């Protein structure tokens, strides 16, 4: 990470510029170019001396996100990008329009190690972690392309954010920086499949973001069957960390629950889920599972989802059902993947 200038904070840029004989105020200029003006080349930086461009390009090449493909949903104008990274890896990102503004769903890794059986992001395996500047780059390139300002971020694209912990923490620092994009932490959601030790690390930081937990089942055998990570961190352990997180940060936790017909959508599951979450500052977000060609699941019927919702609500749990956006372009939850490996474009 150390030589990636787009991943650096101002004091770090200051050090590298000092080595190139530059005054310290240049570091802030550079940061503004990278994170406020979303520059993708040194030559765009008009107040940086021309003589500096070449040495910078040689020593600190800007690692961009190149739009390799763009798809616009005919149904709801959701946009999905396939970005090519500097080393030929690919990730996908999705921009959604809501009443309150634009939300981007970013990837934090190329591929994923977690192996959840309902998710396409894991199908091609794990390639590598994204750098902080690359995660920010997904946002900047989409904004430039669409000529918009993004106000909300969800870390719910490809990859497991807490499996790329340091880089994701730095990304949060960059994107919320007042000298950069200045997005409010309150407008950021981080979703995890449940890497328990990192949840404890995260709560120490007291960030204002929303923590989402991909729970998907109230019983260990059921959860382990669909999410291998549960073999390492059981539900009890995970929910203990969540309770602690909510208590320490006073932030409501959002539990994601993909509705898999005939698997995890019975009344018994709803009752067990409500019992598990009793007394916690939380919210349940039901997601009718999006079909992925490699996995056998189908979404629960609207009637089943309604009944499941009522069972939870009767027990004092607040519930929303996630609206599906961008399904005609495979841009919905769990449908982002290493698309280039399949020769589909
Ligand atoms: N690795 C992180 C973030 C990426 S997934 C995590 O696991 O939370 C974002 C959300 O989409 C997660 O809740 C994930 O479980 C859910 N998801 C994955 N595949 C899905 C599918 N096919 N249908 C609906 N939701 C899915």
The CA distance from 103 to 98, in Å, is 7
pLDDT of residue 320: 96
Cβ of 42 less than 6 Å from ligand 1:
no
Q: What digits encode the pLDDT tens for the residues 27-41? A: 999 999 999 999 999
pLDDT of residue 28: 97
The b-or-e profile of 65-82 (16+ CB within 10 A means b, else e) is: beebeebbbeeeebbbbb
Residues 95 and 146: beta-carbon distance below 8 Å: yes
Q: Give the residue, out of 233, 265, 289, 334, with the most ligand 1 atoms within 8 A of its beta carbon, to mutate for a pocket test.
A: 334
Q: Which of 14, 92, 134, 256 is catalytic?
A: 92
CA 333–ligand 1 middle distance (angstroms): 5
Q: What percent of the chain has pLDDT over 70?
A: 97
Higher pLDDT, 1 or 170: 170
The CA distance from 215 to 227, in Å, is 9
Q: Give the residue, out of 333, 335, 337, with the most ligand 1 atoms within 8 A of its beta carbon, to mutate for a pocket test.
A: 333
Model confidence at 1, pLDDT cuts 50, 70, 90, reads low
Nearest atom in ligand 1 to 157's CA: 4
The CA distance from 164 to 176, in Å, is 18
Cβ of 229 less than 6 Å from ligand 1:
no
The CA distance from 79 to 126, in Å, is 24
220 Cβ partners below 8 Å, 6+ apart? 230, 234, 235
CA 211–ligand 1 middle distance (angstroms): 14
Mean pLDDT in the chain? 94
pLDDT of residue 343: 42
Could you tell me which of 176, 186, 331 has the C-alpha nearest to residue 249?
186
The CA distance from 325 to 337, in Å, is 17
pLDDT of residue 345: 35
- CA angle 180/334/122 to nearest 5° reads 95
Residues 42 and 62: beta-carbon distance below 8 Å: yes
Which residue's CA is the closest to the ligand 1 atom numbered 20?
A: 334
Cα torsion 14, 17, 23, 29 to 10°: value is -70
Higher pLDDT, 76 or 263: 263
pLDDT of residue 340: 56
The helix (run of H) or strand (run of E) holding residue 55 is helix 50-59
Cβ of 30 less than 6 Å from ligand 1:
no
Could you tell me which of 71, 69, 62 has the C-alpha nearest to residue 40?
62
Cβ of 193 less than 6 Å from ligand 1:
yes
Q: What digits encode the pLDDT tens for the residues 276-319? A: 999 999 999 999 999 888 889 999 999 999 999 999 999 999 99
Average pLDDT of span 320-325: 86
Q: What digits encode the pLDDT tens for the residues 91-128? A: 999 999 998 899 999 999 999 999 999 999 998 899 99
Provide the 8-state DSSP code for 146: H
pLDDT of residue 294: 84
Model confidence at 192, pLDDT cuts 50, 70, 90, reads very high
pLDDT of residue 339: 65
Q: What digits encode the pLDDT tens for the residues 241-265? A: 999 999 999 999 999 999 999 999 9
CA 214–ligand 1 middle distance (angstroms): 7
Residues 135 and 167: beta-carbon distance below 8 Å: yes
Q: Judge whether 92 counts as a catalytic residue.
A: yes
């Amino acid at each position: 990470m150390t030589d990636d200038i787009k991943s650096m904070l101002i004091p770090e840029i200051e050090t590298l510029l000092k080595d190139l004989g530059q005054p310290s105020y240049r570091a802030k200029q550079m940061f503004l170019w990278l994170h406020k003006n979303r520059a993708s080349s040194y030559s765009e930086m008009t107040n940086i001396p021309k003589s500096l461009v070449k040495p910078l390009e040689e020593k600190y090449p800007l690692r961009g996100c190149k739009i390799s493909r763009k798809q616009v949903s005919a149904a709801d104008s959701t946009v999905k990008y396939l970005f090519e990274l500097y080393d030929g890896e690919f990730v996908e990102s999705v921009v959604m329009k809501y009443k309150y503004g634009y939300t981007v769903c970013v990837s934090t890794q190329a591929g994923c190690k977690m192996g959840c059986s309902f998710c396409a992001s894991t199908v091609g395996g794990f390639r590598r972690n994204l750098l902080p500047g690359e995660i920010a780059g997904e946002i900047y390139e989409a904004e430039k392309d669409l000529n918009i300002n993004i106000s909300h971020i969800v870390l719910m694209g490809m990859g497991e954010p807490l499996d790329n912990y340091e880089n994701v923490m730095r990304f949060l620092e960059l994107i919320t920086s007042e000298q950069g994009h200045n997005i409010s932490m309150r407008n950021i959601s981080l979703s995890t499949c449940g890497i328990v030790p990192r949840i404890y690390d995260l709560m120490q930081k007291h960030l204002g973001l929303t923590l989402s937990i991909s729970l998907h089942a109230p019983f260990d055998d059921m959860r382990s069957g669909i999410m291998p990570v549960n073999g390492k961190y059981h539900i009890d352990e995970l929910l203990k960390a969540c309770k602690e997180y909510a208590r320490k940060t006073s932030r409501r936790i959002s539990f994601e629950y993909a509705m898999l017909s005939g698997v995890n959508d019975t009344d018994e599951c709803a009752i067990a889920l409500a019992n598990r979450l009793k007394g916690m500052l939380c919210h349940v977000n039901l997601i009718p599972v999006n079909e992925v060609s490699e996995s056998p699941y189908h979404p629960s019927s609207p009637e089943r989802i309604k009944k499941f919702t009522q069972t939870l609500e009767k027990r004092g749990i607040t519930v929303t059902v996630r609206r599906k956006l961008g399904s005609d372009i495979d841009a919905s939850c769990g449908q982002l993947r290493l698309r280039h490996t399949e020769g589909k474009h």
